[in-house]
Amino acid sequence: MLDKINNLRKEVEEFAANSAEEVESFRIKYLSKKGILSGLFEDFKNVAHDDRKAVGGLLNNLKIALQDKLNTLKEQFESGHVSDTGNTDLTLPVNFMQPGSRHPLSLTRNKIVEIFSRIGFTVSEGPEIEDDWHNFTALNFPEEHPARDMQDTFFIEKHPDIALRTHTSSVQIRVMETEKPPIRKLFPGRVYRNETISSRAHCFFHQVEGLYISKDVSFADLRQVLFYFAKEMFGDDTQIRLRPSYFPFTEPSAEMDISCFLCGGKGCSFCKYSGWVEILGCGMVDPSVLENCNIDSKVYTGYAFGMGVERITNLKYRVKDIRMFSENDVRFLKQFQSVI
Ligand code: PHE
């Protein structure tokens, strides 16, 4: 029986078909219910006990070889790459692989990281599943404080202390707790909020946060760094303005607008005739936040800023609906191929 199996194996390996009909005959001859393989399995019942292991192994290998062979033969004829005369038809269209491209949000994040890395910022990351301390309390959002309402997120009933982070500011705390100033870091990552999904809001989105802690850091340093960023990201003619705002963890706080790059600041429908578009939040790190992380606020000062990656991508590439970023529609994604 061993010889029989070995001979069959050779026969199968050398087999070549010239037409789809021949492939079908091959299947019937070897693999059908009454075919050669079933016959062999039938014979196997009579093999002596001591030989069973060796014969069984060979038989199983033959079965696999037969199935592989059949698949290859089928592919040859089904995809039409071999004509019925057995010659390859070089005029048929090929099944070529579409080259992939970077996701637009990755393009924007990489660009932001690259711009800040030129002035000494390095990247750190923190967990998306956060605890209350890092996401809220250490950042001056005490329990029951109304500022928490603006950042509602997803909680776990069993562990009310654990939530999906609402911003990358949580990484500020993690880094300040473990590293000594000077700190000059960027924190890119995904964040979550309990929002009704629409063209402008989603339950998850991306941010890039920046943090600089050292001696004698002033608001002027913050402004200059953000001005540099705006020009590198949106073009040399870009102007910025800082409007007073409120965040619990920065004091003073501001929101930064850039001059509208469509109308150059004159006013158009894109900037709602204001000449400006908002792009990020920022401010001087509140001394009590430094103290929460055991950094002496009499010695050190610093600034922080945070921006939405979707928002910047929308502005740069005029994407109108934020849901498109997570739909995986190749018609949308492949438009960014040339941007890389
Ligand atoms: N974390 C703030 C938000 O998500 C943005 C911010 C970051 C503001 C750093 C100031 C400083 O809205």
**197 against 122, higher pLDDT:** 122
- Mean of per-residue pLDDT scores for the chain: 92
The answer, yes or no, to whether residue 290 has pLDDT greater than 60, is yes
User: Which tens digits make up the pLDDT trace of 178-208?
Assistant: 999 999 999 999 999 999 998 889 999 999 9
**77 against 147, higher pLDDT:** 147
Work out the average pLDDT over 228-235: 96
pLDDT at 86: 62
The answer, yes or no, to whether residue 310 has pLDDT greater than 90, is yes
Longest dimension (CA), the chain: 94
pLDDT at 79: 61
Domain spans of the chain, in order of start: 2-79, 104-339
3-state helix, strand, coil in the chain (%, to 5): 45, 20, 35
Nearest CA to ligand 1 atom 3: 167
Q: How far apart are CA 217 and CA 302, in angstroms?
A: 5
Nearest CA to ligand 1 atom 6: 306
**pTM, rounded to two decimals:** 0.73
C-beta neighbour count of 171 within 10 angstroms = 24
Nearest CA to ligand 1 atom 4: 167
**78 against 330, higher pLDDT:** 330
DSSP codes, 34-49: TSHHHHHHHHHTTS-G
Residue 268 CA, ligand 1 centroid: distance in Å: 28
C-beta neighbour count of 227 within 10 angstroms = 16
pLDDT at 340: 54
Angle between helices 2-14 and 36-44 (to 10 degrees): 160
* Percent of the chain residues topping a pLDDT of 90: 67
The ligand 1 atom at the shortest distance from the C-alpha of residue 307 is 5
* Contact by Cβ (8 Å): 267, 273: yes
pLDDT at 339: 63
The ligand 1 atom at the shortest distance from the C-alpha of residue 169 is 1
Residue 247 CA, ligand 1 centroid: distance in Å: 7
Work out the average pLDDT over 245-261: 96
The set of protein residues with a Cβ atom below 6 angstroms from ligand 1 is 167, 169, 209, 247, 250, 281-283, 304-306
Banded pLDDT at 254 (limits 50, 70, 90): very high
Q: How far apart are CA 156 and CA 95, in angstroms?
A: 47
How long is the chain? 340
CATH class of 104-339: alpha beta
Work out the average pLDDT over 298-326: 94
* Percent of the chain residues topping a pLDDT of 70: 97
The answer, yes or no, to whether residue 209 has pLDDT greater than 90, is yes
Banded pLDDT at 115 (limits 50, 70, 90): very high
pLDDT at 144: 87
> How is residue 98 written in tokens?
């579409």
pLDDT at 117: 98
The answer, yes or no, to whether residue 82 has pLDDT greater than 80, is no
The answer, yes or no, to whether residue 264 has pLDDT greater than 70, is yes
Residue 211 CA, ligand 1 centroid: distance in Å: 11
User: Which tens digits make up the pLDDT trace of 19-48?
Assistant: 888 899 999 999 999 999 999 999 999 998
Q: How far apart are CA 132 and CA 163, in angstroms?
A: 7
pLDDT at 90: 81
Nearest CA to ligand 1 atom 7: 306
The answer, yes or no, to whether residue 138 has pLDDT greater than 90, is yes
